[in-house]
Structure 1
Amino acid sequence: MEMKEILVLQGNTIVQRNRNEMEYGTDTIQLLARAKNPLDVSQSNHSYWPEPNYVNPETRVPLLIAVSCTSECFVLALLSLRIYSRHRMTQRRLGLDDALMVLAGIFATALVVIVCICAVHGTGYHSYDVKPEWYPTWAKANWSQTLAFVPAATLTKVSILCTYLSLFRSRSNRIFCHIMMIFLWVFCTVQIVVLFVQCRPLRSYWDTSVKKSCIPINNYVYSSCAINSATDVVIYLWPSRTLFALHMSLLKRLGLFVTFSAGLVAVIASVLRVLSTYKASLSHDPGWIGTYITICKVLEINFGVICGSLPAVKPAIMACLPKSEKNSGRAKSTPYKNNRFNRLDDSGSSSYVRRERDVPLQNLRHASLPIGAIGVTSEVTVKMNRKDNSVSEEWLITDE
């Protein structure tokens, strides 16, 4: 591997460092942190760096703001539709999963606001085009991104697990959900603690006059991203075995699988964020490449909230479909068929009662009886007391 040298800021001195030893969370931050512009000092050594352009610089700020705000609009729309579907259309109380998802949406909104502040003060610009007076505000906002990102990601996954607890009543599902919840909360706490202790003192993040002492975080950044992606995959794919065991047509089961696992799109954003972080750690212009890190971070959170809310907005979606679309796929030759599922176990069977009965019309005729015979009919009345499912999610997978 070719060993390249780059210039980084160490204190008030520009020194050469091996690019492979560069820590994105420390040296690149120090490169941008300047009480005076050290890039002016190093301009003669960096012949490939142009003169700073503070008047009309090249920027990716419009792209960053457009992607962030557009995805946030979808988040707010889906959350509003989720609350409306649950409270007004299904006449059910808002559950714990709804409350947690709303909290995740609040943190997602805070993340977008913080990202817009970063965009105005440096993110999306070339490092040499960032004004020195922008740095304190940018550094505070950049530090705050993690403070919004981590709770948003955790709350989204815990909300989905709460939905699983309401929907799937098997013992294995309860064990899985509770173990994952504990792990997610512990992982969230660890990330917040690392954020506060990575560099000491804390104000050294944005105050360049304070001597900074930081711990290396490259390995931590990559490992935390890997853990985050792994938990996404496990959680979104968990109900697939139960969904495919349902007594429904294959097309409907595939539709349910896609609905519940749509959050895997967030995994793609997470992987792209890791790749962008690695590329930025090797770059002499981390501020420019960091634009894609920020975009992937926003999309990862917003996709998680959006896809996590898709199953809950099914009543609203079904209400918008034409009647012919709602009834498509149902058996037309069956005089009576009740396909309602309640809470499910691992095998896809109901914990309560599922009644399905086909009564061919020819069995109701008396033409096959001998002449003079008396046909005897019986009428059975079945009274079923259903438990209160006001906070249950069984309506997510019914045909109605």
Structure 2
Amino acid sequence: MRQPPPEVRASWPAPNFTNPETRGPALVTVELLALSISSIFLGMRLYVRTRVVRSNLDWDDWLMIAGAIFGVGVTVCVVLASSKYGWDLHIWDLTVAKMVASRQVSFAGQNLYCTAGSLVRISIFTSYLRLAPPGSLFRRLTFVGIAASALTNFAFVVALLAECRPFNSYWNLSRYPIDCYNETPMLLAYSAIAALLDLFVWVLPLPTLYHLSLPLSQRLALVTLFGFGLVVVIASCIRIYWCYYVLEETYDVTWYGFHLWIWTAVEVQLGIICGCVPWLKVLFRLWRTGETVIGTSGRGSQTNGQRATATIGSKRGTAVRMDTLGGKGESIDLERSSAGGVSETELCRPTHWA
């Protein structure tokens, strides 16, 4: 945290520790609402996987659950920061005890935010492996995204722990001089890399989805579903602006950090929501048409190492052959369900990025 020069301190009003000006409950309301919505979307995703498709949870599901747990930690830090530790007050209205606590919760929140965002991105990249044919450019780029997300998270956490010597100097304001590096380059660099990774997550599957062997309307619908990731990119960019403003443009960091805290937690929750949206296509179609869905996406049901799924529900009583996801053209026969034949394939073998 930058120390304000004497002339800036002299311009501050007298501290008000009894009835200070506050930001109100807006931050807590937004954070709890975002957490509730993301939890609902995650719950619906897990319901589709376990009850509708009737398959075991896979790596991308467990990674998303882990990301959601860390996301809860981010929200808890935001709520504590706003309601107890002065991140809704002007900096001059904070007691020394609140200043120390606010720095501690900031330290914890940054670590949780970084890990939560990385796990969500890795979960989405892992789900792309179902679409990526073996040996394709799409598959190689997906592994690049996984590695970049993991390494960025590791590097940021290490850098944050090494920022001050000892690291508790980050919040121990009684130590003078404070032996800490300038945190601005590190935080802005990580924010920019995170935004680029969010953009990569959004753009990577679009060519493959658009070139699927499906009617144009269905391809556009899939592109739209996966395209919800654009809102995460927008949230990341807004967070970069507030990160720069809080670090470089103001010394009233707790008052203007209000905006940074909002976009920090909202970005994580939006990532979880967008990572779950593509799975809800099956659920919404079931509610609309009453179809029955069977899946062969469990671990013991694979062809050429890749998974196949299909929706069943047509009244014609016929079967269909569907290319395996990421396979090399092999097909499988899907038996009739009690409701009849096959209405459409969920996903077909990609023909792009080969």
Interval of TM-score (by shorter of Structure 1 and Structure 2): 0.7 to 0.9
Q: How many residues are treated as equivalent by the alignment?
A: 314
Aligned to 1:296: 263
Aligned to 2:307: none
Distance 1:167 1:242 in 2: 8
Q: Could you say if the C-alpha distance between residues 339 and 50 of structure 1 is closer, same or farther in structure 2, counting changes exceeding 3 Å?
A: farther
Report if the CA contact (8 A) 2:104-2:171 is conserved: yes
Aligned to 2:104: 140
Distance 2:77 2:203 in 1: 31
Report if the CA contact (8 A) 2:31-2:266 is conserved: yes
Distance 2:204 2:269 in 1: 21
Q: Over aligned residues, Cα RMSD in angstroms?
A: 2.9
Distance 2:267 2:142 in 1: 22
Distance 2:60 2:346 in 1: 14
Distance 1:82 1:219 in 2: 37
Report if the CA contact (8 A) 1:311-1:396 is conserved: no
Residues 24-63 of structure 1: per-residue CA shift (max 9 Å, x gap):
xx31xx45xxxxxx99x976x31xx333233332222411
Q: CA deviation at 1:146?
A: 1.2
Aligned to 2:182: 216
Report if the CA contact (8 A) 2:126-2:146 is conserved: no
With normalisation by structure 2, the TM-score equals 0.80
Aligned to 1:277: 243
Report if the CA contact (8 A) 1:342-1:395 is conserved: no
Tell me whether 1:179 sits opposite 2:161 in the alignment.
no
Distance 1:289 1:233 in 2: 26
Q: Which amino acid aligns with 2:163?
A: Q
Aligned pair partner of 1:201 in 166, 177, 187: 166
User: Helix, strand or coil for the counterpart of 2:76?
Assistant: helix
Q: Which has the larger radius of gyration?
A: 1
Distance 1:143 1:337 in 2: 57
Q: CA deviation at 1:341?
A: 5.3
Aligned to 2:85: 121
Q: Which amino acid aligns with 1:72?
A: L
Q: CA deviation at 1:151?
A: 1.0
Aligned to 1:268: 234
Aligned to 1:150: 114
Q: Which moved more, 1:283-292 or 1:51-60?
A: 51-60
Distance 2:215 2:334 in 1: 28
Aligned to 1:35: none
Report if the CA contact (8 A) 1:108-1:149 is conserved: yes
User: Helix, strand or coil for the counterpart of 2:331?
Assistant: coil
Q: Could you say if the C-alpha distance between residues 265 and 42 of structure 1 is closer, same or farther in structure 2, counting changes exceeding 3 Å?
A: closer
Tell me whether 1:104 sits opposite 2:71 in the alignment.
no
Tell me whether 1:251 sits opposite 2:217 in the alignment.
yes
Q: Which amino acid aligns with 2:153?
A: C
Residues 73-117 of structure 1: per-residue CA shift (max 9 Å, x gap):
012111111111101111111100000000000000011001111
Aligned to 1:314: 281
Segments of structure 2 that go 5 or more residues without pairing to the other structure are: 292-313, 336-343, 349-354
Q: Which amino acid aligns with 1:260?
A: F
Identity percentage of aligned residues: 26
Q: Which moved more, 1:189-198 or 1:259-268?
A: 259-268
Aligned to 1:66: 29
Q: CA deviation at 1:183?
A: 1.8
Distance 2:201 2:237 in 1: 17
Distance 2:346 2:191 in 1: 31
Distance 2:27 2:134 in 1: 44
Aligned to 2:38: 75
Residues 327-349 of structure 1: per-residue CA shift (max 9 Å, x gap):
xxxxx9x997958554147xxxx
Residues 195-253 of structure 1: per-residue CA shift (max 9 Å, x gap):
10111111212222224211123222222211111111112211111111123333322
Distance 1:254 1:56 in 2: 55
Q: Which runs of 4+ in 1 moved over 3 A?
A: 334-342, 394-398
Aligned to 1:343: 325
Tell me whether 1:88 sits opposite 2:51 in the alignment.
yes
With normalisation by structure 1, the TM-score equals 0.72
Aligned pair partner of 1:234 in 200, 203, 215: 200
Q: Which amino acid aligns with 1:295?
A: I
